Structure 1
Amino acid sequence: MRHLPTAALLPAPADEDAPARLATADLRAGFGKARVLHGVSLGFLDRQVTAIIGPSGCGKSTLLRCLNRMHDTVPGSFVQGSVTLDGQDIYRGGIDANAVRRHMGMVLQRPTPFPTMSIRDNVLAGLRGHGQSKPSRGEADTIVEAALRRAALWDEVKDRLRTSALGLSGGQQQRLCIARALANGPQVLLLDEPTASLDPISTQRIEELVYELRHELTVVIVTHNMQQAARVSDRTAFMLAGELVEVAPTRTLFTTPADARTEAYITGRFG
């Protein structure tokens, strides 16, 4: 049986008075006739890390993809309810989905550097993908360095920016993908199991990076690893069968959960 994460691992209690930068209200989503999310209402607080935990198939990744309208890209998908960024409903008619994604960077489970591009061009690819005007060479150099520094990768790659991104280790490739997302200057960073395919040392580097980025951004991380949620997040949301069971400051949820289903999950009685 797993035990509750020790209090020593848990960050200080989250400031529950911080404003919600991003929020869902009665969010329902799915594919065709199959509903995956059932009325999820959840706020993601400004400059805090929110972890989303729950068993496989509970709707964590679908929720994450709804937050930046990536769910829209799947044929037959549907979304009901609302997702607001700074009070603006991103699903309202006339809102450009690509513009939404520029404000909300996303990093997937496995590193996805573009194989035919150099490290430098990988960082800049996000800018081009959103139809922005091409920066000057000097501007591009500044963007690349700033993004790689924020992703804690600059010192490791500054002398080989023109080489293939595939020459990097798995952990470095994932930090490169984070740098690519950060190059757009997003307000929110969405991470879907970002360390699932990485070794322990690379995982630690990503976790340290996430913990630092919370000072600049609203971060949402989906993870199966409850110890990871305890290490990096300010607040944790537990989902089950497409529903939000509870959300609370991470220390509170892992030590004194309000719902018996949450306690059963985090102590290993199911899931």
Structure 2
Amino acid sequence: MKSLVARHSLAMWVCLLTWDPLRRVLSFSILSHSRRWNKSIVRRARFSDELVDRRSLLSKVAIATMTMTETVATVLNPQPAIAAVDATTTIQGIRDARNTLTKLLENWEKAVIDCTFADVPRELLETKNKEQLLEKASTFALFDKSVSVTSCKTSNRLVRDYIGSTGKGPVVGLEKKLRQALEFVKDGEDTDMYVQTTENISQALSRAGSLSYAAGVADFASVNNFDVKETPKVLSNESSNLEQARRAIRETVDGLDTILPMLSETY
């Protein structure tokens, strides 16, 4: 037991005697590593600054090059000046569109009724009249009005041409002309009213385009022949797409009649 205590005491004295040199060695090692770490951080920071400087320089060179290129291109190929909107031309274009739509409405029946069809009378097609039918056919009498019956269909072709849906005619580009004409509104006129009216015109014209298209594929009279005597009845059918298209065109003309007096060509 005494020998064990003696050995522990000896170990404690050895630790106490060697602790101070060991502490110095550890402190020196930590200090050395710290200095090397700080130098590494400084070198990395300097390298990062150099990268930033290089990138900044390259960016400035690129911007200068682009600026010079654009300048040279502008000198060699100058852009044409945007022509000022001419009041007379713009207003006359609106007036032409109005006159075109008015002409369509005035000749509505001629524009939408196609009576180039001929049908054989139903009585002649009955079995008891078979011999008579053969006799008429042998003498080409089917082309005689006394034998054949003229029939009609409604057509949307001319309507769509007149309202500009097919890309031709004075009505094409009407909405753009109405926007341009805003600067030609006379002093004292209500510009808010002008803007609202042009929006109504645009909506009515768009509605006329969609309804006129539907009239050619969905209206009963556009796919089924009817007697020429039934033309007034067909035209007065308020539920047909064709009649609703006519009303939309009328709204467009009324709107144009409202705004045209508000415009001045003396700007």
Indicate the TM-score class for this superposition, using the shorter chain for normalisation.
Answer: under 0.3
Q: TM-score, normalised by structure 2?
A: 0.21
Structure ranking higher in strand proportion? 1
Q: TM-score, normalised by structure 1?
A: 0.21
Larger relative contact order (CA 8 Å, sep ≥ 6): 1
Structure ranking higher in helix proportion? 2
Larger Rg: 2
